[in-house]
Amino acid sequence: MTGDTHLRAELYLRGDTYGTFDAQQQVLNRVKRLEANGVFSESMVAGEWQRIRTMAEDKRSEAIQTYEEFTDWAGQNGHSLEPAFERRNRSYVGMDRVDDVVVFPVVSLAIYYGDDLEGVFPCSDNQRTYTVGDALEAFERGDEDWLAQFDSLSVDRTDPLLEPGVDATI
């Protein structure tokens, strides 16, 4: 891949998971190397989300908006975000309350070209799951056609919906 691709990598990390720090750091380092090599014109930790967010009471609605954007992209491509993202009902012992929730993965990667969402990883189709590692391996080996298997979705934005953290640029 050439240095003039203008691809932007947005990395999303789950902050409430123990024992995954090293794996998340490895992904961060790979993305950073790809940016240094000109594969990505920009890369950032776009935000940190918690394991479970309710659809109705999410205090940080940007996480749910990001999930819905990713879901729109997956639907356009005939893909699903499951099993990495899980949408389900959560009930509470001793209460009649049931919430619709999204369980977020430990790490996910979104690739943008301008205001078009080109890919979300992990995602799956009827035959396989495309992991964050699969996407990074394709970029690392310079496979310019790999991302072309996915249709882009215009999202009309060039900044993450989630508020990046203090050390957001990687």
pLDDT in tens, the chain (170 residues): 444 568 999 999 988 778 888 999 999 999 999 999 999 999 999 877 777 666 665 555 688 889 999 999 999 999 999 999 998 877 677 878 777 788 899 999 999 999 999 999 999 999 999 999 999 999 999 998 999 999 999 998 777 777 654 344 44
Between CA 82 and CA 74 the distance in angstroms is 10
Structure token pair of residue 123: 């995602």
Q: Which amino acid is at 43?
A: S
Provide the pLDDT for residue 39: 95
Contact 52, 91 (CB under 8 A): no
Provide the pLDDT for residue 97: 76
Between CA 93 and CA 158 the distance in angstroms is 42
Predicted TM-score (pTM) of the model is 0.86
Provide the pLDDT for residue 69: 95
Provide the pLDDT for residue 102: 86
Between CA 79 and CA 148 the distance in angstroms is 15
Between CA 7 and CA 40 the distance in angstroms is 5
